[in-house]
Amino acid sequence: MNKVLHKSETRGHANHGWLNSHHTFSFANYHNPERMHFGVLRVLNDDQVAAGQGFGRHPHDNMEIISIPLEGELEHKDSMGNVATIKQGDVQVMSAGTGVHHSEYNKKDDSEVKFLQIWVFPNKKSVTPRYDQISINDIKKPNEFYQVLSPNKDDQGVWIHQDAWFHLGEFEAEKTSTYTINKSGNGVYAFILDGEVEIEGQKLSKRDGFGIWNVEAFSFKSISESRVLLMEVPMTL
């Protein structure tokens, strides 16, 4: 079993006024050669966008991009013709493939948006770009991890071009669970959204990140009321 711990305060940080962002892995002006990626998980940004502000139209290619709003609403527009609003309780995915342009704006003038921006290297290059989003309100379950992303089009949640599985969990205090790896060779990066938990004896707090690999399953315990994102990904690029 291998482990890596990234405490919340060790993340990269950039405050542009309109955008306050914390970077778990190297991104933009934050460069840490020891924090480039976790397997195919390339970017994990914890973003806060000010009222009436946002990301102008910009390009992406050959990347699987997942957005998970934590608070507020974000308007998405892209070169595929999609115009959509994502909010807390939604998961959005965009396969950039051969190339796509998009913008993301907080249309509210009285509240900020908080969301996770996640990039995963795909297992297929130059695919046709695609967009999808779902509401997880109908699939979430209390005190257990529920799947929100997989490699399978017909499975629960959104899908991406990679052998990856994402699970969210909302737990009361003193609840336990076991997570079993879906594909041999994969690892799991846990990101603590709220509360305090323990994974394989490692205590973790809000916005801590913890990677674990070379394991078939691992134990989880909520110390307090908590919310956790598990990202299972291949460990080799």
- Count Cα neighbours of 63 within 13 Å in the Cβ-side half-sphere: 15
* Residues 194, 105: Cα–Cα separation, whole Å: 25
The per-residue pLDDT for range 111-135, each reduced to its tens digit, is 999 999 999 999 999 999 999 999 9
- pLDDT, position 211: 98
- pLDDT, position 138: 87
The per-residue pLDDT for range 78-88, each reduced to its tens digit, is 999 999 999 99
pLDDT (average), residues 214-231: 98
- Give the Cβ contact number of residue 94 at 10 Å: 24
8: helix, strand or coil: helix
The secondary structure of residue 28, as a DSSP letter, is T
pLDDT higher than threshold 90 for residue 228: yes
* Residues 111, 72: Cα–Cα separation, whole Å: 7
State how beta strands 145-150 and 158-159 pair: parallel
pLDDT (average), residues 201-213: 98
CATH level 2 (architecture), domain 145-234: Sandwich (2.60)
Domain with CATH 2.60.120.10 in the chain: 11-135, 145-234
CATH level 2 (architecture), domain 11-135: Sandwich (2.60)
**Closest C-alpha to 116, from 166, 77, 79, 156:** 166
